[in-house]
Amino acid sequence: MILNVNPNRMELLRIRKRLALAHRGHHLLSEKRDELSRQLMELSRQLGQLRRTVERELLQVGQRFVMARATMEPANLDVALLNPTIRLSLVLSFVRIMNIRVPSLAKEIVSGGLYYGLATTSAELDASLRAMEKVIDRVLELAQKEKQAYLMATELQRTRRRVNVLERVVIPDLQDTIRHIKGKLEEIERDNINRLMRVAQKIR
């Protein structure tokens, strides 16, 4: 589509600058799209491995709790689990990856220790709670990476749309407009030459 501009040399220079800028933007966005695709594929592979690890460790923790329950009186287990063994808080910060603001989660232990009597509890319960503490770190890592993957996928879609608009709309329109203006200028120049030739013939 030809842009609605006056066919003169100033417009031609201006549109040529816009075309050069559009080509540069297209090149940079294409590189960003390719790098985002590469990083997203790598992140997807890591996520698959991490998710399987978290599921396996959670299953092991569940099995440990089942064993702890089997080796303890139900009332003693309920009393032991009334108070949390660890108090923690989550610290949220942000980092930039490919100019994308990605959240980073960190665990901060406020207090820790065993708050139940050892006489009425089994060693399996202690092991279960320690294993659960380790799994929390994996779960936080998984949540962080999944959010990162979502944000990168969203940015990749946005970048692809921009590349497509530049490739299929903006750059072709600017090229068509440049050809149109050059054609008009050539036509004006031919008319001027013909007019000068007629004037010269009359003078003779």
Burial class (CB in 10 A: 0-12, 13-18, 19+), 15: buried
Name the class of domain 9-194. Answer: mainly alpha
Q: With 80 as the cut, is the pLDDT of residue 147 above it?
A: yes
> Would you state the pLDDT for residue 76?
66
Q: How does strand 86-97 pair with strand 100-112?
A: antiparallel
Residues 164-192 have a mean pLDDT of 87
At 58-95, the pLDDT tens digits run: 888 888 878 777 777 776 666 666 666 667 777 888 88
* Residue bearing tokens 């054609």: 183
Neighbours of 140 (CB within 10 A): 15
pTM of whole model > 0.85? no
Helix (H, G, I), strand (E, B) or coil at 95: strand
In the chain, where the domains are located: 9-194
The reported pLDDT for the residue numbered 115 is 58
Mean pLDDT of 34-41: 92
DSSP assignment of 128-194 equals HHHHHHHHHHHHHHHHHHHHHHHHHHHHHHHHHHHHHHIIIIIHHHHHHHHHHHHHHHHHHHHHHHH
- Both tokens of 68, joined, read 């702890």
The residue-averaged pLDDT of 114-118 equals 57
